[in-house]
Amino acid sequence: MNASVLQEKLLTALVGTGRIVTPRPQLPVMQYVLLEATAEGLWCTTTSMEVTERRFVAAKIEKEGAICVSSRLFTELILSFPQGPVRLAAREGALEIQCAGYRATLPSAPATEFPPVPKKNKKGEVALPKDELLKALGLVLFAAATDDGRPILTGVSVRRDGDHLVFAATDGYRLSLKRLRTDLKTDVSHIIPGRALAEVVKVGEGEKEEETIGFSAADAGQLVFTVGDTEVFTRPLDGDYPNVEKIIPTVHTTRLLLDRGTILRAVKSAAIVARDNANIVRFHIDGQALTVSANTPAVGENQVEVETKVDGEGGDIAFNSRFLLEFLTNITEDELLFEMTGSLNPGAFKPVRQTADDSYLHIIMPVRVQA
């Protein structure tokens, strides 16, 4: 393999693919970046086994070939180089790197040690509006589980329901549900790893000029998201996703109109005291007033009066402040509705301004506390 590529272009690709390289990989191959020089240019590929990311870089190819090197070391070296052409040359068991007066050599591994890279099935690829997809993912991803105690909950359920794409994520304590109108006619029903979708969001945010994200099947039972010159592959999770419709409240006895910024500040303040008491924050509704409070005997107590409009009964309910804060920092709408029925049933949050074609619901299970 012999290639010449601009330092700034190569660095962008390496930083992007390097995000999924784990600091302490279970397998040696997971610390590599696969460099493939083809007639079209240079491909940089990394894998965490759950997610594989492949980025194309325009390059002058003098000799085709492929080689594996340490992703971290190669990225650090390219970062240290000045802007300009970087020459890459594969030698026996090594990669020689030159840029201006800089010269370096890294030990290499054969490309055959890298797992087979899936091939995208271009037939059947659909284009999804990038901004709408990224917003939908941003509203649900934080609710997915991050531990592997129940692996299915680390994924996001994505399915087509008539004229809508429905995104759902839950960790058993909260649920985010986003419905988005779509022109998609293909049946879609997948549970996609949250870590893969989080990477799709990062790639999409970095590709400012792209208006769509391609979505299609790949070989080996994988799915692929394409953003510009980047492909993100992942394998859907196997198993049955919980029937989230069952936990969505259909009635409520209390409804509050909340200003997002105001309630966010109140919860942040109460959370300071709640840190040493299982992060428990209480809502007390009386008349047209909402009090957000926390009480930790060894630390102190905190109460914040929040202006609101109340429809229905008063009452009390408690939540984990971390769940409240993650929801309130991810949603962007200023006016929210909060609905509840007693202290033991889930609390539901939704934007005031939404339609059936573009709706969002976030549910948090309450914390049982002594009166």
Q: What pLDDT is attached to residue 58? A: 98
The encoded tokens of residue 333 equal 């709408």
> Considering its fold, how many domains does the chain have in total?
3
Residues 358 and 252 in one domain: yes
Give the residue numbers spanning the domain of 206: 126-244
Instruction: Name the domain boundary from 71, 92, 113.
Output: 113
Q: In this structure, are residues 44 and 57 in contact, taking their beta carbons and an 8 Å threshold?
A: yes
- Residue 200: name the closest of 221, 220, 226, 180 by CA: 226
Residue 334: phi and psi, rounded to 5, are -85, -35
For 277-334, what is each residue's pLDDT tens digit? Answer: 899 999 999 999 999 999 998 899 999 999 899 999 999 999 999 999 999 999 999 9
Place of tokens 């991803």: 141
What is the DSSP code string of 144-186?
S--SSSSGGGGEEEEEEETTEEEEEEE-SSEEEEEEEE----S
Q: What pLDDT is attached to residue 177? A: 97
Residues 203 and 263 in one domain: no
Q: For residue 371, name the pLDDT band (cuts at 50, 70, 90).
A: low
Instruction: Name the domain boundary from 204, 222, 244.
Output: 244
8-state DSSP, 148: S
**Rounded distance between C-alpha atoms, residue 328 and residue 306, angstroms:** 15
Neighbours of 112 (CB within 10 A): 8
Is pLDDT larger for residue 26 or for residue 36?
Answer: 36
For 227-276, what is each residue's pLDDT tens digit? Answer: 999 999 999 999 999 999 888 999 999 999 999 999 999 999 999 999 98
Residues 196 and 211 in one domain: yes
Instruction: Name the domain boundary from 62, 79, 113.
Output: 113
Strands (E), 38-84: 42-47, 51-57, 60-63, 65-70
Residues 257 and 343 in one domain: yes
**Rounded distance between C-alpha atoms, residue 266 and residue 272, angstroms:** 10
Residue type, 256: L
Residue 234: phi and psi, rounded to 5, are -160, 160
Residue 42 is part of a domain; what is its CATH number? 3.10.150.10
Q: What is the dihedral angle through the alpha carbons of 129, 135, 138, 139, rounded to the nearest 10 degrees?
A: -120
Residues 109 and 25 in one domain: yes
